[in-house]
Amino acid sequence: MKRLPLIVPAVLLSLSLSGCTGGAQANPTANAAPVAAAGESAATKVGAQSEEGHDLGNGRPAVSFDGLMVRRRVVIAVHSTLEANVEGIRKKLDTAAAARNTVLSNISPDVLEPAVLQQVVPEVIVALPDTASVEDGRAIVTKATEEGTAKLGVNNFYVLPVLVHDLRFSVKTGNPAALSAAVDREGILSDALGNYDTAARDGELSISYTGPLLGDELVETVRGGMARQAHVASSTIAVGPKSTSGAGVDMATEPPWDPELLENQIDHPHTDG
Amino acid sequence: MATRRDMLKLSMLGGAVALTGMKDGPVLNGVSARRGADDATTPTATTTPSKLAPKNTPVPYTATFRRPPELVPFSTGRDADGQPFAKYSLTQKLGQAQIAPGLSTTLAGYNGIFPGPTIRVPQGTRTELRISNALPTKGLLYTEPSNTVTHLHGSASLPQYDGYANDRTAPGKVKNYKYPNWQAARTLWYHDHNHMLTAQGVYSGLAATYTLSDAHEQAQLPQGEFDVPILVTDVMLNADGSLGYNDNGHSGLWGDIVMVNGVPWPTMKVKPRIYRFRFLVGSITRSYRFALSTGDPFYVVGTDAGMTPKVQAVSSWRQGTAERYEVLVDFRKYRPGQSVELRNLSNKNNVNYANTGKVMKFQVVADSPSPAGSNSRSISSIPSTLDVGEPPSKATGGLDTMSLTPDMAVAKRILRVQRKNGEWTINGETWDTVEKSGFTRCFANPQRNQVEQWTIVNESGGWFHPVHIHLIDGKIIGRNTNGGKPFAWEGGPKDVFYAGENESVTVLMQFDTGKHDGGRYMVHCHNLVHEDHDMMVQFAVGDLRNNDPIYADQPVPETMPAGSFASNYRAAYPAGT
């Protein structure tokens, strides 16, 4: 396994992740329903599926919508105190990124692996552009901490590679603005995706999402949420990548996240003033 | 480090595994307040979901809808100052229910039934609920003593009657809960709130509807036959019909049988009229998104704490545990013989089974007169606005909740609901922190009638948290999703605030205690296994020493023989209606 050294001494809490960015469940097909014995109750049959692969908790869900729809990104997550100046921290990072002509974007903390998320519980987490590397992230953190960040309530910075879904849902419709309003109003997409971008023009409603991996069930929920208001079948809702350029991720070959790797991480508590 | 998913796998193999160690709490009422029995590291016997044989497995829409019986007070009258009162008696005891065909399910309920008896009270009539704990020494789903705590959810009660989580009534004791009922009309519910074991208590059956009515609500919304309680829960049953229980390592309980008023997927007969349904989710964890199979709208006329000033049409809505939504459904467009399904489209971070997408079915029947004496009344059209009236406590400084504005807030606070290092926490603290402080640790200390702005932030991963703030009625003024606005169905006063995955919700609230001086009140996640383990903190209104929630009015030994207070119920509506 190839490991990525991500350490910035005294500033950066780093993880040796070997490019592994998934959860405990590796096999996207692991939640396939088992064949039930004859006479077995319906309740027992459905129960055997239970929670594996669902969009529940912080583990990796079953993801069939992969390839160009799944991308690698780099995030900076900040472990801070309860009294941290969250806005100040974000401003520091934005300023440091701007010095490198980089724009940071918001992203859900749920992109982090479960063990990292439970340890860091970041109040600030930002994503670098899709072309950025871990080294770029380290450089931004180094720049941001030149004058010290402890007064802002920062304990540590993490620069981490993560997997994200980069999806576009679309449907043809006679009145995309009205459909967009109806979809927003019902709130199914808000629950499933959090924030998303909408384009309603040229006879099409298009909804774009970049964020934590969505299980297949959740992708179908989004399609269903659009289809309900468009009065079409869910299968009519197209699902594809936001961009056809660059490299995607084949989830079938993506190694699982190994929590034990976190046990061996090198911890560099933030000590500067 | 074991991940949550590891825990789930373990629990599926043999039982739930504890995330936290055994800890002993303080001794109250002579009974050791030990931590929950489900903290034990030995596997429990039951895993999810139901283990019923096919012949015993409930089939959706084959059972008949029913309403919980409405309890009649054993005493009514007026106090010396002229205020009316009504006194009720309830006994917490074991009972039998038929959920699975051909099998009996033992439950622990108020008067031995689930849901417990409905209590309907007019605004201004104070009530006393004499609640006697006649449960066996050991709990139905745990080996600890079956202590109970009763919380009337939605009431601005004194702290000693608010169901403080450590104000336990042991078996053989009785507590007389007193409720002021000065607030505006709303749907409330009373349920168990025994810390560390609240989930098991409610799941066993200790939950029931309580409604408060007033002249405004009575004049504008359907009544009687057309005013229908819908208490939605989910359960799992063992092969012998007994209750199964698995909270997946304190993460959540998702049953595969959806019940309405204790009946699995019932069918209700409805007339071609406008009905008012009082939706209350009493599930331990599961949240729902209710929708009609026809795609027709619901009209939201009420939220947790009363009527909505504007009526909103929605094609579905999201509802978490303990939230209440009152909606109108117009069945006049349907012909007798037509059916309409009430479905659950589900929400993110739930576990769904074959039939958890179904809730109940409405079967439209021919119109007919309402039962005599039922004071039934539908309405002739869907209103667009509702007159909620003056704030009931205006004379003592009470404000209209939905008229609160951010400039009124004297403090802004943030509550971070977090999964942190294996514990459910609020701002990094738990109820254990409160217990260890001798119940003095408070998250906030607003003064009586002050307005504050609280933002609930959920950024700890793949979970939703319906956060309940005791005492207050709140107005949602913003979210970090949905364009920054409340959802369409959130246009009324609320006391439970659904914070979905990576969501934050901002709420304005007035700490209106009515005529009393306040004291300590709880704030917690209403996913009851989160609440139990240990996502709960408290705040105090005014001096925290006022109205001690544990010692001001303690339970006493029950001295009245069983049956001293007859359980009389009002006449029921015809079967299935």
Cβ distance B275 to B43 under 8 Å? no
Mean pLDDT over residues A222-232, rounded?
A: 98
Q: Do A41 and B12 touch (CB under 8 A)?
A: no
Residue among B249, B349, B248 at smallest CA distance from A61? B349
Return the number of other C-beta atoms located less than 10 Å from residue A90's C-beta: 18
CATH number at residue B451: 2.60.40.420
Residue with tokens 């991940």: B3
Q: Which DSSP letter does residue A110 get?
A: G
Chosen for mutation from B4, B457, B504 (greatest number of chain A CBs closer than 10 Å) is B4
CA A196 – CA B408 distance, rounded (Å): 32
Rg of chain B over Cα atoms, rounded to whole angstroms, equals 22
CA B222 – CA B228 distance, rounded (Å): 9
Cβ distance A56 to A221 under 8 Å? no
The whole-angstrom distance between residue A200's C-alpha and the CA centroid of its chain comes to 25
CATH number at residue A97: 3.30.70
B275: in domain = yes
Determine the residue type at A8. Answer: V
- What pLDDT score does B309 carry? 98
Written as one string, the DSSP assignment of B187-238 is EEEEEE--TTSHHHHHHHT-EEEEEEE-HHHHHHS-BGGGEEEEEEEEE-B-
Residue B251: which of A52, A57, A195 has the nearest Cβ?
A: A57
Cβ distance B52 to B46 under 8 Å? no
Residue B481: which of A50, A57, A195 has the nearest Cβ?
A: A195
Nearest-10 Cα torsion for B360, B364, B367, B369: -20
When divided into structural domains, chain B yields a total of 3
CATH number at residue A176: 3.30.70.120
Say if residue A90 is in the same domain as residue A203. no
pLDDT at residue B123 tops 50:
yes
Using CA coordinates, name the residue in chain B closest to A216.
B348
The whole-angstrom distance between residue A236's C-alpha and the CA centroid of its chain comes to 26
Q: Do A186 and B50 touch (CB under 8 A)?
A: no
A92: in domain = yes
pLDDT at residue A91 tops 80:
yes
Say if residue B304 is in the same domain as residue B180. no
Q: To the nearest whole angstrom, how far is the Cα of B351 from the nearest Cα of chain A?
A: 6
B341: in domain = yes
Contacts of A24 in chain B (CB under 8 A): 3, 5-6
Say if residue B350 is in the same domain as residue B439. no
pLDDT level of residue A55 (50, 70, 90 thresholds): low
Say if residue B236 is in the same domain as residue B166. no
- What pLDDT score does B566 carry? 80
CA B153 – CA A254 distance, rounded (Å): 48
Q: To the nearest whole angstrom, how far is the Cα of B350 from the nearest Cα of chain A?
A: 7
Q: Do A50 and B317 touch (CB under 8 A)?
A: no
- What pLDDT score does A120 carry? 84
Mean pLDDT over residues B145-155, rounded?
A: 97
Host domain of residue A169: 165-241
Mean pLDDT over residues B373-395, rounded?
A: 96
Given B183, B217, B251, which residue is the final one in a domain? B217
Q: To the nearest whole angstrom, how far is the Cα of A103 from the nearest Cα of chain B?
A: 21
Chosen for mutation from B480, B502, B530 (greatest number of chain A CBs closer than 10 Å) is B502
Say if residue A158 is in the same domain as residue A169. no
Mean pLDDT over residues B420-447, rounded?
A: 94
Cβ distance A192 to B316 under 8 Å? no
Please list, in sequence order, all residues whose beta carbon lies within 8 angstroms of the beta carbon of residue B102, skipping any fewer than 6 positions away.
B55, B56
Contacts of A263 in chain B (CB under 8 A): 1
- What pLDDT score does B120 carry? 98
Mean pLDDT over residues B466-488, rounded?
A: 98
Q: Do A228 and B315 touch (CB under 8 A)?
A: yes
- What pLDDT score does A250 carry? 96
Mean pLDDT over residues B424-428, rounded?
A: 94
DSSP H or E stretch at residue A134: helix A134-144
Given B364, B385, B413, which residue is the final one in a domain? B364
B16: in domain = yes
Cβ distance B287 to B320 under 8 Å? yes
pLDDT level of residue B78 (50, 70, 90 thresholds): very high
A4: in domain = no
Cβ distance B404 to B445 under 8 Å? no
pLDDT level of residue A215 (50, 70, 90 thresholds): very high
Say if residue A138 is in the same domain as residue A96. yes
Say if residue A99 is in the same domain as residue A229. no
Residue among A129, A184, A167, A174 at smallest CA distance from A243? A167
Q: Which DSSP letter does residue B1 get?
A: -
Q: Do B462 and A56 touch (CB under 8 A)?
A: yes
pLDDT at residue B40 tops 90:
no
Residue A50: which of B48, B316, B349 has the nearest Cβ?
A: B48
A256: in domain = yes
Q: Do B3 and A190 touch (CB under 8 A)?
A: no
Higher pLDDT, A273 or B241: B241
pLDDT tens readout for residues A179-210: 999 999 999 999 999 999 999 999 999 999 99
pLDDT at residue A10 tops 50:
no
Written as one string, the DSSP assignment of B144-178 is SB--B-EEEET----GGGTT-TT--B-TTEEEEEE
B553: in domain = no
Say if residue B245 is in the same domain as residue B298. yes
Q: Do A109 and B502 touch (CB under 8 A)?
A: yes
Mean pLDDT over residues B518-546, rounded?
A: 97
B28: in domain = yes
Say if residue A92 is in the same domain as residue A193. no
Higher pLDDT, B308 or B33: B308
- What pLDDT score does A61 carry? 87
- What pLDDT score does A261 carry? 53
Mean pLDDT over residues B135-144, rounded?
A: 93
B571: in domain = no
Using CA coordinates, name the residue in chain B closest to A41.
B54
Say if residue B142 is in the same domain as residue B224. no
pLDDT at residue B26 tops 60:
no
Residue B422: which of A45, A118, A188 has the nearest Cβ?
A: A118
Phi/psi at A36 (5° precision): -90, 145
Say if residue B205 is in the same domain as residue B232. no
Q: To the nearest whole angstrom, how far is the Cα of B235 from the nearest Cα of chain A?
A: 12
Say if residue B481 is in the same domain as residue B353. no
Say if residue A256 is in the same domain as residue A142. yes
A273: in domain = no
pLDDT level of residue B296 (50, 70, 90 thresholds): very high
- Of A249-263, B134-148, B347-361, which gets the smallest average pLDDT? A249-263
Say if residue A137 is in the same domain as residue A257. yes
Q: Do B50 and A121 touch (CB under 8 A)?
A: no
Residue among A43, A192, A25 at smallest CA distance from A114? A25
Higher pLDDT, A45 or B359: B359
Mean pLDDT over residues A122-142, rounded?
A: 94
Residue with tokens 């989710």: B281
Q: How large is the ipTM?
A: 0.89
A269: in domain = no
pLDDT tens readout for residues B437-453: 999 999 999 999 999 99
Residue among B263, B261, B385, B379 at smallest CA distance from B329? B379
Nearest-10 Cα torsion for B293, B295, B296, B301: 90
Contacts of A82 in chain B (CB under 8 A): 416, 427-428
Does residue B49 have a cis bond before it (omega within 30 degrees)? yes
Mean pLDDT over residues B204-228, rounded?
A: 98
CA A72 – CA B422 distance, rounded (Å): 27
B526 half-sphere exposure, CB direction, 13 A CA radius: 27
Cβ distance B492 to B303 under 8 Å? yes
Q: What is the pTM assigned to this prediction?
A: 0.89
- What pLDDT score does B454 carry? 98
Contacts of A80 in chain B (CB under 8 A): none
Residue with tokens 């992740």: A17
Chosen for mutation from A79, A119, A121 (greatest number of chain B CBs closer than 10 Å) is A121
When divided into structural domains, chain A yields a total of 2
Using CA coordinates, name the residue in chain B closest to A228.
B295
Q: Do B4 and A114 touch (CB under 8 A)?
A: yes
Say if residue A128 is in the same domain as residue A192. no
What are the percentages of helix, strand and coil residues in chain A, rounded to 5?
30, 20, 50
Mean pLDDT over residues B193-220, rounded?
A: 98
Return the number of other C-beta atoms located less than 10 Å from residue B438's C-beta: 8
B225 half-sphere exposure, CB direction, 13 A CA radius: 25
A83: in domain = yes
CB contacts < 8 A (A, B): 163
pLDDT level of residue A256 (50, 70, 90 thresholds): confident
- What pLDDT score does A42 carry? 36
Chosen for mutation from B236, B318, B501 (greatest number of chain A CBs closer than 10 Å) is B501
Mean pLDDT over residues A136-146, rounded?
A: 93
CA A196 – CA A207 distance, rounded (Å): 7
Say if residue B275 is in the same domain as residue B208. no
Given B344, B364, B384, which residue is the final one in a domain? B364
In residues, how long is chain A? 273
- What pLDDT score does B431 carry? 97
Please list, in sequence order, all residues whose beta carbon lies within 8 angstroms of the beta carbon of residue B141, skipping any fewer than 6 positions away.
B200, B203, B204, B243, B245
Cβ distance A70 to A164 under 8 Å? yes
Q: To the nearest whole angstrom, how far is the Cα of B416 from the nearest Cα of chain A?
A: 9
Say if residue B357 is in the same domain as residue B292. yes
- What pLDDT score does B16 carry? 27
Residue with tokens 């309402």: B370
CA B287 – CA B303 distance, rounded (Å): 16
Contacts of A43 in chain B (CB under 8 A): 49-52, 57, 256-257, 353-354
The terminus-to-terminus CA distance of chain B in angstroms comes to 53
Residue B3: which of A50, A114, A186 has the nearest Cβ?
A: A114
- What pLDDT score does A262 carry? 53
A41: in domain = no
Q: 3-state class of B264 per DSSP?
A: strand
Q: To the nearest whole angstrom, how far is the Cα of A217 from the nearest Cα of chain B?
A: 9
Say if residue B237 is in the same domain as residue B200. no
Contacts of A56 in chain B (CB under 8 A): 349-351, 462
Q: Which DSSP letter does residue B37 get?
A: G
Structural tokens at position B357:
């997408």
CA B275 – CA A78 distance, rounded (Å): 51
pLDDT level of residue B20 (50, 70, 90 thresholds): very low
Q: Do B487 and A187 touch (CB under 8 A)?
A: yes
Determine the residue type at B186. Answer: R
Please list, in sequence order, all residues whose beta carbon lies within 8 angstroms of the beta carbon of residue B565, skipping any fewer than 6 positions away.
B74, B89, B130
CA B108 – CA B208 distance, rounded (Å): 12
Contacts of A119 in chain B (CB under 8 A): 421
Say if residue B80 is in the same domain as residue B144. yes
Residue among B530, B509, B403 at smallest CA distance from B458? B530
> Which ranges constitute the DSSP H helices of A48-132?
86-98, 114-120
Please, what's the b/e burial string for B185-200 (b: 16 or more CB within 10 A of its CB; e: otherwise)?
Answer: bbbbbbbbbbbbbbbb
Host domain of residue B154: 4-42+59-217
- Of A52-56, A172-176, B384-388, B547-551, which gets the smallest average pLDDT? A52-56
Residue B462: which of A57, A187, A229 has the nearest Cβ?
A: A57
Using CA coordinates, name the residue in chain B closest to A185.
B488
pLDDT at residue B37 tops 70:
no
Say if residue A202 is in the same domain as residue A120. no
DSSP H or E stretch at residue B278: strand B274-281
Q: Do B6 and A23 touch (CB under 8 A)?
A: no
Going through B370-526 in order, the beta strands assigned E by DSSP cover: 409-420, 423-426, 451-458, 465-469, 473-479, 496-499, 504-510, 520-525
Please, what's the b/e burial string for B372-386 (b: 16 or more CB within 10 A of its CB; e: otherwise)?
Answer: eeeebbbbeeebeeb
Nearest-10 Cα torsion for B479, B481, B482, B487: -40
pLDDT level of residue B401 (50, 70, 90 thresholds): very high
Say if residue A158 is in the same domain as residue A90. yes
**What pairs with residue B429 in β-bridges?**
B426
The whole-angstrom distance between residue A80's C-alpha and the CA centroid of its chain comes to 20
Say if residue A159 is in the same domain as residue A174. no
Mean pLDDT over residues B419-424, rounded?
A: 82
Contacts of B459 in chain A (CB under 8 A): 108-109, 121-123
User: B522 vs B223, B234, B348, CA distance in Å?
Assistant: 33, 25, 27
pLDDT at residue B373 tops 60:
yes
Residue among B473, B549, B550, B454 at smallest CA distance from B513? B473
Say if residue B147 is in the same domain as residue B244. no
Structural tokens at position B16:
């739930």
Say if residue A158 is in the same domain as residue A170. no
pLDDT level of residue B539 (50, 70, 90 thresholds): very high
B550: in domain = no
Residue among B440, B411, B441 at smallest CA distance from B426? B441
Mean pLDDT of chain B: 91
Mean pLDDT over residues B522-531, rounded?
A: 97
- Of B102-111, B384-393, B563-572, which gets the smallest average pLDDT? B563-572
